[in-house]
Amino acid sequence: MNYEQIMSERAQAISPSPIRRFFDLAETMENVISLGVGEPDFRTPWPIRSAAITTLERQSIFYGANSGLLQLREEISHYMKRKYRLDYCPENELLVTIGGSEAVDLTFRTLLNPGDEVLITEPCFVCYAPLVSMADGVPVSLPTKEENQFRLTPEELKAAITPKTKLLMLSYPNNPTGAIMTREDYEKLAEVLRGTDIMVLSDEIYSELTYGTKHVSIAELDGMRERTIVVNGFSKAFAMTGWRLGWMAAPPEIIAQARKIHQYAIMCAPMISQRAAVEALRHCDADTAHMAEEYDHRRRFLLERFAEMGLPCFPAQGAFYLFPSIEPTGMDSETFCEKLLEEERVAVVPGSAFGESGKNNIRISYAYSLKHLTEAANRMERFLRNHKK
Amino acid sequence: MKELITLLKQNARLSNAELAAMLGRTEETVAAQIAELEQTGVIRGYSVIVDEELADRDTVSAYIELKITPQPDCGFDELARILSSFEEIESVTLMSGGYDLGITITGNGLRDIATFVAQRLATLDGVLSTRTHFVLKRYKEKGILIQDEPDDERGVAF
């Protein structure tokens, strides 16, 4: 068989995740200490696990409603109201998905016509551009700058808009920079967007993890709800990554179209996870707050260590990443990461994996114990000393 | 203060500078707060969690339930104070339920503990009965695991 000829050109055109290659190399080495993973180190809070066990013991696991368990959608609706002053109707404005990722993919597939441009604020999570391409859209990078705290400015947005712009992709709190956007920042973007037909996809998966400030959703702002698709999920807030559960919230017309695709491709999100997630939203606020407090301690700890070792680092206020600049070393991020791995056996992710605008940075995850972080920071300090210019 | 105590409970060896960074305070503030906690007696001391099995295989620990006669003036306090003064005894707590005082004791071998119970504990005035439970294995103490940490099973993610 000539597979290259028979396979989809679009699929073949997508490049594999740039992070994978790097970590395959790390796996061949011994005594490697990683600051690479993008998921919580906490275990899923016990009440959630217990609810899953009870579900297995007492209930049959049938297919459920395409939109997701109604009880769960009701809880999601309450949650969005009490946390973010957002009002979504459980019946027709919410769709429970397999993680936030499916919701992102669904949004692209629901909104995009061939040639539609999607403005993607970068640096960002690696999946957006490939998924846009798979949905026949055209991904357009919208680099943000460290001097603007990696926030998108209205000037940058205005300059990037063309008649083909269909969608603006925002992801705050941001992976990999840890940047957040304030209500004032969003208000300036909203001024540009109101009165246009440009939609917004806001990936708010890290919304529970902000430090010293409360998360704001762009959908809260006047006139924005009707043009925004909010994506969120259970992975980061409740340490439920492997449970694969997220949701999208949007006007009913959009949910109706997205639900068709979801129905044919997925049927419904996993029912065990959905029943457990009801418990998460009802009873686990304290667990979430506790995890956020610990992340905050680690964040401050690392920022201080980086300052001491002379590694300039943007003071991130969200997610569980730091994005220090390695510019003073004179190395690009790929070289820096390879050398750091070879010489000190510390695995971090090159910033270039998250877009061209991250090429002078590295992504550090602090979803690790303090002991682990201390050892990694010690090794990095030694590395920087050896490579002082 | 609560956050500071939580951090110290997890690891009392964090330096003031590290604590200050984690809490977003100055080193001086942290030093002053710890001094205050020590002076007011909120912090009574600092200790270490040892895996006795690795440190010394002969060490044996026991948990002993004691039923005692309360004294007219001071209830259980007097006897609890006497017990606290024994060096072998690691902890003394007044309990609700089926017995009065719970103590933990560590010694070199079963014989040590048996002797202690028979000769020093049971003979104390006011001690009605004792019930000794030997510790077979410890898994966790004061929030610290006495076992190897599980491997990080997380794969590469983004």
Chain A contacts of B155, Cβ < 8 Å? 37
Nearest C-alpha in A relative to B151: A41
d(CA A236, CA A182): 20
ipTM for the complex?
0.80
Which among A300, A363, A372 is the top mutation candidate for probing chain B, defined by the most B β-carbons within 10 Å of its own β-carbon?
Answer: A300
d(CA B41, CA B38): 5
Chain A contacts of B154, Cβ < 8 Å? 37, 39, 41
The full set of domains in chain A, from first to last, is 3-44+286-386 (3.90.1150.10), 59-282 (3.40.640.10)
Q: For B142, left (φ over 0), alpha (ψ -120 to 50), or beta?
A: left
Within a 10 A sphere around the Cβ of B102, how many other Cβ atoms?
A: 17
Q: How confident is the model at residue A112 (pLDDT cuts 50, 70, 90)?
A: very high
d(CA B86, CA B100): 18
Chain B contacts of A125, Cβ < 8 Å? 158
Q: Do A300 and B158 touch (CB under 8 A)?
A: no
The per-residue pLDDT for A363 is 96
The full set of domains in chain B, from first to last, is 2-39 (1.10.10.10), 52-136 (3.30.70.920)
Which residues 123-152 of B have a C-beta within 8 angstroms of A?
149, 152
The CA distance from A376 to the nearest CA of chain B, in Å, is 15
Tens-digit pLDDT profile for residues A207-243: 999 999 999 999 999 999 999 999 999 999 999 999 9
Number of A/B CB contacts below 8 angstroms equals 43
pLDDT tens over chain B, length 158 residues: 999 999 999 999 999 999 999 999 999 999 999 999 999 999 999 999 999 889 988 899 999 999 999 888 888 999 999 999 999 999 999 999 999 999 999 999 899 999 999 999 989 989 999 999 999 999 999 999 999 888 888 875 55
d(CA A358, CA A354): 6
Chain B contacts of A20, Cβ < 8 Å? 156
Which is nearest to B106 in space by CA: B63, B44, B49, B50? Answer: B63
Q: Do A39 and B156 touch (CB under 8 A)?
A: no
Report pTM: 0.91
Which is nearest to A224 in space by CA: A247, A255, A192, A256? Answer: A192
Residue A232 phi/psi, 5-degree rounding, is -150, 180
Whole-angstrom CA distances from A377 to A92, A239, A306, A308, A340 are 48, 24, 8, 10, 12
Alpha helix ranges (H) inside chain A: 3-6, 9-13, 18-27, 46-58, 70-84, 99-111, 128-134, 154-160, 183-193, 252-265, 271-283, 285-309, 333-344, 370-386
Tens-digit pLDDT profile for residues A138-160: 999 999 999 999 999 999 999 99
Which is nearest to A177 in space by CA: A198, A219, A206? Answer: A206
d(CA B38, CA B27): 17
Burial profile A253-284: b = 16 or more Cβ within 10 angstroms, e = fewer: ebbeebbeebeeeeebbbbbbbbbbbbbbeeb
Which residues 219-248 of A have a C-beta within 8 angstroms of B?
241
Tens-digit pLDDT profile for residues A278-335: 999 999 999 999 999 999 999 999 999 999 999 999 999 999 999 999 999 999 999 9
A298 touches chain B (CB under 8 A): yes
Whole-angstrom CA distances from B4 to A167, A290, A368, B13, B15 are 46, 14, 20, 13, 12
> Among partner residues A19, A175, A300, which is closest to B21 by beta-carbon distance?
A300
> Among partner residues A19, A37, A297, which is closest to B154 by beta-carbon distance?
A37
Give me the DSSP letters along B50-87: --HHHH-TTEEEEEEEEEEPPBTTTBTHHHHHHHHT-T
d(CA A54, CA B137): 30
Residue B98 phi/psi, 5-degree rounding, is -75, -10
